[in-house]
Copies of this chain bind each other. A is one copy, B any other.
Amino acid sequence: MKIYEGYKYVDGGVCAAAGFRANGINCGLNPDKNKPDICIIVSDTPCRSAAVYTQNKVKGAPIIVTKRHLEKTGGISRAVIANSKNANTCNADGEEKAERMCGLLASKLGIPADEVIVASTGVIGQILNIKPIEDNMDRLFAGLSSTGNESAARAIMTTDTVKKEVAVEFEINGRICHVGGMAKGSGMIHPNMATTLNFITTDITIAQKQLQSALSEITKITYNCLSVDKDTSTNDMVCVLANGKAGTEEITGGQEYEIFKKALYIVMSEMTKMLAKDGEGATKMIECSCMSAPSQDTAIIVAKSVVCSPLFKCAVFGEDANWGRILCAVGYAPAEFDINKVDVDIASKNGSVSVCRGGFGVEFSEDEAKKVLEADEIYVNIRLNQGECEAKAWGCDLTYDYVKINGDYRS
């Protein structure tokens, strides 16, 4: 992971921030008893909360319920409950079941159900069996602990091969603060003003409005710049809970706000890269930087277009320096710019190769290019040479295993 001055990576994930406990167990939604399938995250005290959601018109019932809850409470929540294996989406009884999940946890905490955030991930369009959740709520709640972050992170995994957790420690006016998170991937990832399932906790004190602004701003340049397969999920959500346990003054702006936003950026961008790296069937992570663009939006659009190209993704899998496909994807990116100024380099820990200058190909050594592409993290660097803005996007190669995993996902 990249080193950021003033920020220290720490263990603990969603439990790194003071006053948060978590737990994940197998309740039986997943027949594999070794695989946790439900988790909860609980704060000792009420939290200011913010969230962003999928823009898909088909919204999972948990999305609808969480949105309603946060609107009702004015952004106050105490806890999260999330399950894998079933997305609880496109079912006539979906909202009722999602409310029931919140109610079960709320009654253990003695709080209104509105103060619970709910999320589900898994197969769309199959009725959620609520009984295993009801039957195991006591055990799930009893297991809450300040080291339960790992089991919680594992409980939201679907086709993910590794759990995703990041946490950082930093100081605001002498107080030790934390931002930590957990995320799940790894297919149906093409966020649009939202993202895959992501839960973030922090012990700073911050006004709800600023918390929402920071989350929306950082989502735009992290999760929203991630694509595994161009499919925008029905259940995407990022939420952040701030419980104030670090004892900072309430942040409403200024330098403190910037320090927090940077922490959020570190956590969310690291998790974005983890998600890209663990994309379904992926063998290589692709990071595309678009520089000297006329606007940040143009840079984002161009960088995303490259990491989304199925043909380029296949070429990366095959370690074939078919750079024409990069320029092709730059060319069909829906933004206004002069293609004849564009430079392209392909790089990795093994070196860097210039493949295009001013929109035309330049000679390069295929051997060197092949060596560059043998690495497991591939960097595509694009300079539009017509502005000062830049952005990054993340993706992965397209492999046999992606097809295999998704040819028979439901069984």
Q: Give chain A's interface residues, CB within 8 Å of chain B.
A: 55-59, 87, 89-92, 123-127, 187-188, 192, 229-234, 308-311, 314-315, 317-318, 320, 322-325, 327-333, 337, 339, 355-356, 359-361, 398-400, 402-411
In the complex, are the beta carbons of B90 and A360 less than 8 A apart? yes
Q: A226: shortest Cβ distance to chain B, in Å?
A: 15
- Which chain B residues lie closer than 8 Å to A89 at the CB level? 324
Determine the main DSSP class of A at the interface with B. loop
- Which chain B residues lie closer than 8 Å to A332 at the CB level? 55-58, 192, 231-232
In the complex, are the beta carbons of A230 and B230 less than 8 A apart? yes
> Known: A58-B330, A332-B232, A356-B125. Is A324-B90 also a contact (CB below 8 A)?
yes
In the complex, are the beta carbons of B90 and A403 less than 8 A apart? no
Interchain CA distance A56-B309 in the complex, whole Å: 13
CB-CB nearest in chain B for A360:
B92
- Which chain B residues lie closer than 8 Å to A229 at the CB level? 310-311
> Known: A124-B324, A328-B234. Is A407-B91 also a contact (CB below 8 A)?
no
Interchain CA distance A87-B124 in the complex, whole Å: 42
> Known: A123-B322, A324-B124. Is A339-B407 also a contact (CB below 8 A)?
no
CB-CB nearest in chain B for A320:
B408
Known: A125-B356, A314-B409, A322-B409. 19 other contacts (CB 8 A): A55-B332, A56-B328, A57-B337, A57-B339, A58-B359, A90-B361, A125-B324, A125-B355, A126-B324, A127-B361, A188-B311, A229-B311, A230-B230, A231-B325, A232-B328, A318-B407, A320-B407, A398-B403, A400-B404
